[in-house]
Structure 1
Amino acid sequence: MSSARRAIILTVILAFLAGLSGAFVGTKLLAPKETPDNALHAMLHSKLNLSAAQEKNIAAEERRFALIRGQLEADAHSANVELARAIQTSKRDGPEVQMAIEHVHRTLGNYQKQTVSHIFRMRAVLTPEQAEIFDRSVVQALMQEAQ
């Protein structure tokens, strides 16, 4: 088999693998589903008997975070596309691929940091009793996600 033909086959295989990894990230990390954050919001509204003022403050925080979340998801998608292109063009685990991987890590890390900050902003409007229930729910949601 000629080296040109091998290079083409390798490129096709790498592009396929990059596509699979992007699909995995999209379905497992970015797809809308019952996430710990969604479960917390449902619990906030159904089990904590929020006052009107608390509802108003949490609704404002939810609107604020919805705007940020859209950008965070777009950034994560962009970082994954960058990684796919680096894999496709470099054809080896070289500096371009490693830089793209680090970009994905920074992007997803920022998403996690923003989400945790959002959770603490919502917690700040709760009474101590509500906060105890909320804290248990946060821990439970994160533990379930890890399984």
Structure 2
Amino acid sequence: SPHEAFLSLMGLAKCGVGDFEAVLDACVAGGLVDGATEERGYLLLQHALNTTDVVAAADRVEAMLAGSAYPGGGVSERMMVLVLQCHLRAESDRFLERFKTFCAAVGGVDRAPRSWVELLIQWAERRRYRLPDGDRRYVVEEVLVA
């Protein structure tokens, strides 16, 4: 069933299987997974988060987000969390930019979800000696609002 295929693929993604995208494409070609849904993007992000080369994975995540498959608002909140986690793990300079973009994309919410703020705090902690004052103020404001 599609649900069982998704769970199996999720397990492979979490194991960081080297040829995961090829396996996923084969499942899409075989009709086990719908390649046009958010699930495909989520699985690719889950794999990127669990791969050994996190810097390259963060770059692939950015390329995927910039691609036509997930333009603008086509990224779900659960995908946003994985993108933030991937950038945090890679200690990417793009973390704060993505955080702000995602907060703006979540319409009707006065503040970032608490789980996102926790990631923001972890990011700021890792950069505490080289965090610009403006970014430091932004982090403090987000924490106070949460």
Larger RCO (CA under 8 A, 6+ residues apart): 1
TM-score, length basis structure 2: 0.23
TM-score, length basis structure 1: 0.23
Is the helix fraction higher in 1 or 2? 1
Larger radius of gyration, structure 1 or 2?
Answer: 1
